Each structure stands twice: as C-alpha cells, then as structure tokens.
Amino acid sequence: MNVSLVSRRSLLALCFTVFATGALAQAGTTEYKPEVGQDGKDVVWVPTPDTMVEKMLDMAKVTAKDFVMDLGSGDGRTVIAAAKRGARALGIEYNPDMVELSKRNAAKEGVTDKAQFVKADLFETDFSKATVITMFLLPDINLKLRPKILNLRPGTRIVSNSFTMAEWKADQTENVKENCTTYCTALLWIVPAKVDGSWQVGGGELKLKQEFQMLTGTLTAGGSETAIKGSMRGDRITFTAGAATYTGRVNGASIVDGTVKGGSAAQWTATKK
C-alpha cells in the first residue's frame, strides 16, 4: 500500500476526530437543558406558559414604545415575546446558563436587537427606566420589591404571574384557560401617582388619604364638607363627592385637565398645599 496515501488518510481521520470533538463540545454548551423546578437564587425556575405570557403583555398593553424588564427572566420567553411586539426588553436572570440560553433563544427568534439579557440579581437591579415590569417570583419577593415599585414613575405597569402584592390589590386580574394548567392567573398593577395630603381647589380644600391606588377624604367648598371616594390609575385621579364625579391628571404638585360631571362647575384644578 502507498505510504503517503495511508498518512493522508490518517491525517484526514485525525482532522475529522478534532472537528467532531469540537463540534460535540460546542453542542454540549448549546444543548444546556434547564429542568422545571431547578434551583434559582431566590426562586426556582418554572416557565410561564406561552398563553399566559401573551395575556400578561396584553394586560400591560405593551407596544413598540415600551421598555419591558422581566425580573428573573428564566429562558427569556417573556422578553422575547415583548421584543416581538417591537418593545425594547431586558431580562434580569441570576443563572448564567439561563442567560446564555435566553440569548440563543432570542437569536433563533430573530430579536437580538430588541431582546437583551444580563446576569444579575434582581434585588440589586435598577429598574427605574422600565415602563413595564413582568415577574413570576413569589409573594414574599413581590412584597420586598413593593416599596421600590411604588416609587417608579406613575403609570408604570407591573404584571405578575399568579403572585400578589399583599394589601396592594391588583387593578386587573385575568385567568387564562387556553393551554394553561397551572399558574394561570395574571395580575396587573399601575403605579399610582402620590397624592396623599391637602390640595387647594379654588377657594376650598381637597384632603386625600391614599392607600396604594385607593382614595378617601373630604372636599370642602362653600363652607360644606363632603366625603370623597376615589382611585388613581397612574397619574389619573377620579373621585366622587356627593353626586359629582371629578377626574383629572396629576402633574407633580398640580392637578390639571380636571373635569366635573354632575357638579355645579364643569372644570377644576388643584395645587398641592
């Protein structure tokens, strides 16, 4: 047999072995498969069913104008779904393997320009730039995050898979039945503007007591005091005083664009005392 042919064949075989080993090693990394229930830093990984992801993004009315942050982003599905709606989206995930998996998933879905992922602890993350926050964590984690969430810009939408924020009742709750067997309740909160305190309304006074988005208090005008009951939806205020319904928009220390239905005046404004 021709010696040079043998050595050429050996070389080819060697090249193939090196190539195959490299390819397998690469396949080893790309084939990282997370297991439902696997440990996470503060909460295990359980993926939100896709129908729930869509419901959560629907409830938050996510559009291309939004910046969505998923706290504990798992395999990246919520971030990727938000990016497909044109939003900029960022996943915060503590597990580096999940971060890499999410990046690969985003690449497969063609949304790497909009969907980004960082390996970080959600408790040490600044999410003040988000217009929408999604999460599937635990009730006690939601509660720990609550003060930070309440300090976000009024109107920021928060959507949680299944878990509540204790006394801060959700503004909207929806149950998903299609292709969802567990963890099928989506809850939405809209960060309310802070209005607690006294406001000058014309020659009178509006005293507001605020508990999350709920309002009680009194409206004093022309020497008579009327109890009020109302609510906030982001920067929008609505309350009733007797037969009159007041609506307006909170802009810092002012309430503007105020309208009244069923009252003696048609418009109103207020200034924080």
Residues of this chain that interact with ligand SAM (CB under 6 A) are 40-43, 45-48, 70, 72-74, 77-78, 92-95, 98, 121-123, 136, 161
* Nearest residue (CB) to ligand SAM, 91 versus 192: 91
Q: Cα separations (Å) of 225 from 46, 206, 220, 242, 264?
A: 53, 9, 4, 10, 15
As measured in angstroms, the least distance from the Cβ of 126 to ligand SAM is: 13
* Nearest residue (CB) to ligand SAM, 50 versus 205: 50
C-beta nearest to ligand SAM: residue: 72
* Nearest residue (CB) to ligand SAM, 67 versus 123: 123
In DSSP terms, 135 is beta-bridged to 71, 160
As measured in angstroms, the least distance from the Cβ of 55 to ligand SAM is: 12
As measured in angstroms, the least distance from the Cβ of 210 to ligand SAM is: 30
As measured in angstroms, the least distance from the Cβ of 153 to ligand SAM is: 22
* Nearest residue (CB) to ligand SAM, 47 versus 155: 47
* Nearest residue (CB) to ligand SAM, 43 versus 228: 43
As measured in angstroms, the least distance from the Cβ of 258 to ligand SAM is: 40
Looking up tokens 């509660």, which residue turns up? Answer: 143
